Amino acid sequence: MRVFYIFQIKKDLEKITKENPYMLFNTLETIYYREPDDIRSCYTFLHQIIDKINIKEIDIALFKKYKENFFYMKYRNVHSLHDVYRQENTTITLNKTYIKLETNVIKPRFLEELQKQKNYFVCDFKEKDYFWLSSLTPIG
C-alpha cells in the first residue's frame, strides 16, 4: 500500500521548481519528518510554499464522477474506491493543506479527476517518490 501526499504549490514556486522538483520534494520531506515540538514553525513555513486546497470543489467533482459506481463510498471528506474487478483499493482524504491518497495500484482512478483540477505536486515520502501530476499520461 502506497501513501501519497498531494500539495497545491504556490504559482511562483511552481515555476521555479518545475524543471527540478527534487528541491521541492526535499523541502516537503524535511517538514514531514520534523519533530512534534517544531510543528508550529513547520506549519508556518509550509504555508509559505503551498496554497490552500479548495476541498469543496474536489469533493463535489469526485462525488459527481463516482456516485453511480457500485464500489465507491464517501464519508465526509473521505472517498473510497474498492473495486474487486480491477483489484483497486484506494482511499483519498481531503484536507485544506494536503490530500492524502492511499492505494495499492500504480495509477488510481481518483488521480484522473485531480488532473482536471490543478497541477498538484505528489509525494510518497516513504518510497522517496515525487512528481508533478501533470507529468502523468492521461488515465483511462
Question: Which domains are assigned to the chain?
Answer: 2-134 (3.30.310.250)
Statement: residue 131 has pLDDT above 90: yes
Statement: residue 65 has pLDDT above 90: yes
Statement: residue 112 has pLDDT above 90: no
Rounded mean pLDDT, 117-133? 93
% of residues, the chain, pLDDT over 70: 97
pTM value > 0.85 = yes
Q: Which letter, b or e, does each residue of 45-72 get, where b requires 16 or more Cβ atoms within 10 Å of its Cβ?
A: ebeebbbebeeeebbeebeebbeeeebb
Q: What is the pLDDT of residues 9-32, one digit of tens each?
A: 999 999 999 888 999 999 999 989
